[in-house]
Structure 1
């Protein structure tokens, strides 16, 4: 069975469903309802009108690598097209399973196509390093301190107050992981940008338990070089 066939048998959605079943059993009905209500509210509100959309051009940004050094997004991507993955942090199990899946199944396919893969979160460099360790990641994992790029893209949000209270009960707080000590996080988002930085695919997930599947990203990348209809 090929890598692609194996991954198709275990989509991100399938992995999320399996994880959530066990997670909800562990945290109990009350905490589960808090998270369910949060996710329902996010879905009802929908994607912000100001969120990045097709045809937008990504501005360059100063980010921070796992060593704590400043790097520009343009330098990291180089002259290739790129897939940019915005995620909440290493504390988020949905992010971890998504990044691990991207490492296993998406990265090899992007390498074949000469396309860069970069993951970005508001974490400290130490948090980014935990993301790398969690997924054995071999692509750049960068910090966006203060969510400067995320705000420019219109995809900034924060956990609901009730969810943060449950987080605290579970032993952590988002603000402790973020470089600016706030609880601001991006909506999980995947952008495909061409060599000029123009967005050709934008998938913003307001419900953080859902993510962009590998095949959808690859299809968007392949469309970059597809002949345009006359």
Structure 2
């Protein structure tokens, strides 16, 4: 796929393929969950620009303890919260960011970090699959995501649909729960202050690379 193809275009193709491949009852359950999340909208109390970026204990891809501050090492950063390696929409977004953002951010001295609640081995598999050169870390228990106000619990219908596909979210998540972060991109400056935050209740949509770079240009 052309590197200039938008995340939205890639996500639309994921949705089209899923519609052709998945059983009707599974598709219906996922559509109902998506409608629920979109109707709920961005949660009240989500962190706003000007707030300090929260920190917490993380695990790197190899299971070693770290923190967000250690990963950033004093650099401004684009921090991307995603659901997990099992989510095809997350996969296309993270791959697109590798293609469209890494070199641009490196040239500006800006770090790129992807954060999810999944176990480290899932993070490692995702990074290897997409040849990601940026940091991919686990946030067990969604500690950082929770402080940002972007955590939700996946609905029962969606969990049952996932089970029909062989996915047990509680087994994949590092804390054994069905809690997930909303797809969110946060721009943090060198002082650890949030300068821009983009929250997507609709997990089929993500921050586009052009939007992220526009926010970075304003640092």
User: Structure 1 CA distance, aligned partners of 2:155 and 2:124?
Assistant: 26
Aligned-residue offset at 1:220: 0.3
User: Structure 2 CA distance, aligned partners of 1:74 and 1:58?
Assistant: 10
User: Is the 8 Å Cα contact of residues 54 and 148 (structure 2) preserved in structure 1?
Assistant: no
Summarize deviations over 1:54-94 as a string: whole Å, max 9, x none: 11111222211011111121111012110000011111111
Summarize deviations over 1:22-77 as a string: whole Å, max 9, x none: 11111133222221121111111100012121111112222110111111211110
Within the alignment, does 1:98 sit opposite 2:93 as a pair? yes
Please list every run of 5 or more consecutive structure 1 residues that lacks an aligned counterpart in the other structure.
1-5, 225-230
Question: Which range moves more in the overlay, 21-30 or 93-102?
Answer: 21-30
> After TM superposition, what 4+ stretches of structure 1 lie above 4 angstroms from structure 2?
none
Structure 2 counterpart of 1:29, from 10, 24, 30: 24
Aligned-residue offset at 1:141: 0.6
Within the alignment, does 1:55 sit opposite 2:33 as a pair? no
1:220 corresponds to which residue? 215
User: Structure 2 CA distance, aligned partners of 1:67 and 1:39?
Assistant: 32
Which has the larger Rg?
1
Correspondence list, 1:127-206, <5 A: 127-206=122-201
Query: TM-score, normalised to structure 2's length?
Result: 0.96
Summarize deviations over 1:141-185 as a string: whole Å, max 9, x none: 111111111111111012211111110001111111111111111
1:16 corresponds to which residue? 11
Task: Give the CA RMSD over aligned residues.
Answer: 1.1
Look up the SS of the partner of 1:200 in the other structure: strand
1:76 corresponds to which residue? 71
Query: TM-score, normalised to structure 1's length?
Result: 0.92
2:3 corresponds to which residue? 7
Question: Which range moves more in the overlay, 82-91 or 152-161?
Answer: 152-161
Look up the SS of the partner of 1:7 in the other structure: coil
User: Structure 2 CA distance, aligned partners of 1:61 and 1:96?
Assistant: 24
User: Is the 8 Å Cα contact of residues 96 and 134 (structure 1) preserved in structure 2?
Assistant: no
Question: Which range moves more in the overlay, 25-34 or 70-79?
Answer: 25-34
Summarize deviations over 1:116-152 as a string: whole Å, max 9, x none: 0011111111111112122111111111111111111
User: Is the 8 Å Cα contact of residues 106 and 214 (structure 1) preserved in structure 2?
Assistant: yes
Question: Which range moves more in the overlay, 28-37 or 196-205?
Answer: 28-37
Aligned length: 218
Look up the SS of the partner of 1:111 in the other structure: helix
1:3 corresponds to which residue? none
